[in-house]
Structure 1
């Protein structure tokens, strides 16, 4: 292919990416990145921004027929309210935050069991009763995100490892649906989640030193 044609195709693809993406999706990307970055920095204001982000993505996922992800946003909405409340509570004295914790073997078993159960049940419902795209894959990602959000709200440091795993899958899923800015956002989520895990692990170890 002639270099001029290649350059033209690249230019058209860039214009479609930049101008073909709705303002609603750009708003979702911005608030989504901001809330995850704040959570990784252990800053409580991630929760109200996350509430705005999930409301935006309810509409985005409805339009793209990712119904499991759309339903997940309603769950995220409730968990964000709970997380905001839980992080706001003080332990012992007025200045003591809820501590960062480490997941137990029983909690990991809960993650595995809940993921298998919700993937099968939700995937089957979507496959049989809707025109959902990728019903079982979408449901698997939804189930993993379900448990990850629980442990983010409960301040377990391994929540970030679960997010890294599912975000890598989401990148491919959103590319297949043409949600390129959202796919880029999830690629950035992987980096932020990795940094978040290291930051939370550092705080967790400092907490243990103070106890000992």
Structure 2
């Protein structure tokens, strides 16, 4: 019961309400996964061992105990293409900056590593999205993280800290800079940061 009630401890997760119409229109395997993952009753190796259906609870990739959190969010071997964050810092919250200029440029980390605009600051940090306006000297850093729902707030704080030096360097160069990390849990529940990061 403790394991299946762990969703009650999710901090910073935006509530998700499903109407009967939403459920009716959702594909069966999606609703089954959503409900089973929230209550941790998916056939993970650790659950299969608990149910006495297997003897080995190990992850096939790294040989560590493979519970749902490990599979969706923590397996180092499975996340080799990911970029884990670092230390925590101060939170920034701004709304509606895209309406302040009409010359916004954007770079996205898709297909190849995003290169941060050197006219703003020089960094080796790898961001997901950067938006900037040359005429108004504004820059917004956006970083998406897909953590375990119980760690959404910690992931947010970690990403704030990770890019704080880049924010400071940009500000020292005369830019108005925003650090906007966004979290969507690995089971599809979005963090409050998604709504705080209105551009």
**Which bracket does the TM-score occupy, shorter chain normalised?**
under 0.3
Higher relative contact order (CA 8 A, sep 6+): 2
Q: Which has the higher helix share?
A: 1
Q: Structure 2-normalised TM-score?
A: 0.27
Structure number with higher strand proportion? 2
- Normalized against structure 1, the TM-score is what? 0.26
